[in-house]
Amino acid sequence: MPDLTAQIAENLAEMHGRITDAAARSGRNAKQIMLVGVTKYVGPTEVRALVAAGCTELGESRPQQLWEKAEALEDLHVRWHMIGHLQRNKVRRTVPLIEMIHSVDSVRLARAVDSAAGELSRRVPVLLEVNVSGESAKHGLEPDAVEPLLEELAECGNIEVRGLMCMAGLQSGLAGAGADFAKLRQLRDRLHENCPEGITLDELSMGMSGDFEAAIEEGATIVRVGTALFHGVLR
Ligand SMILES: *Cc1c(COP(=O)(O)O)cnc(C)c1O
Q: How far is CA 122 from CA 51, 138, 157, 203, in A?
A: 26, 30, 10, 20
Indicate whether 213 belongs to any domain: yes
pLDDT confidence of residue 69: 98
Rounded to the nearest whole angstrom, what is the distance from the C-alpha of residue 215 to the centroid of ligand 1?
13
| Structural domain containing residue 222 | 4-230
Report the pLDDT averaged over residues 141-167.
Answer: 96
pLDDT confidence of residue 93: 98
- One DSSP character per residue, 40-77 reads TTS-HHHHHHHHHTT--EEEESSHHHHHHHHHHTTTS-
Indicate whether 90 belongs to any domain: yes
Atom 14 of ligand 1: nearest residue by CA position: 61
Rounded to the nearest whole angstrom, what is the distance from the C-alpha of residue 151 to the centroid of ligand 1?
30
Q: Which of 175, 10, 36 is nearest to 99 (CA)?
A: 36
Report the pLDDT averaged over residues 48-64.
Answer: 98
Q: Work out the pLDDT band at 172, boundaries 50, 70, 90.
A: confident
Residue 209 CA: which ligand 1 atom is closest? 9
Rounded to the nearest whole angstrom, what is the distance from the C-alpha of residue 225 to the centroid of ligand 1?
6
| Residue 136 scores a pLDDT above 90 | no
Separation between Cα atoms, residue 142 and residue 82, nearest integer Å: 20
Mutate which of 224, 229, 230 for ligand 1 pocket (most atoms within 8 A of beta carbon) = 224
Q: How far is CA 30 from CA 12, 23, 176, 207, 218, in A?
A: 14, 5, 24, 14, 13
Structural domain count, the chain: 1
| Residue 138 scores a pLDDT above 80 | no
| Residue 72 scores a pLDDT above 70 | yes
Residue 229 CA: which ligand 1 atom is closest? 9
Indicate whether 22 belongs to any domain: yes
Rounded to the nearest whole angstrom, what is the distance from the C-alpha of residue 60 to the centroid of ligand 1?
9
pLDDT by residue (tens digit) across 15-43? Answer: 999 999 999 999 999 999 999 999 999 99
Separation between Cα atoms, residue 228 and residue 235, nearest integer Å: 13
Neighbours of 197 (CB within 10 A): 5
Q: What CATH number corresponds to the domain at position 161?
A: 3.20.20.10
Q: What is the pTM of this model?
A: 0.97
Indicate whether 235 belongs to any domain: no
Indicate whether 15 belongs to any domain: yes
pLDDT by residue (tens digit) across 4-13? Answer: 999 999 999 9
Q: Work out the pLDDT band at 139, boundaries 50, 70, 90.
A: confident
Q: Work out the pLDDT band at 111, boundaries 50, 70, 90.
A: very high
Rounded to the nearest whole angstrom, what is the distance from the C-alpha of residue 186 to the centroid of ligand 1?
23
Atom 10 of ligand 1: nearest residue by CA position: 224
Atom 7 of ligand 1: nearest residue by CA position: 209
Mutate which of 208, 213, 233 for ligand 1 pocket (most atoms within 8 A of beta carbon) = 208
Indicate whether 34 belongs to any domain: yes
Which residues contact ligand 1 via a Cβ below 6 A?
38, 40, 61, 83-84, 167, 208-210, 224-228
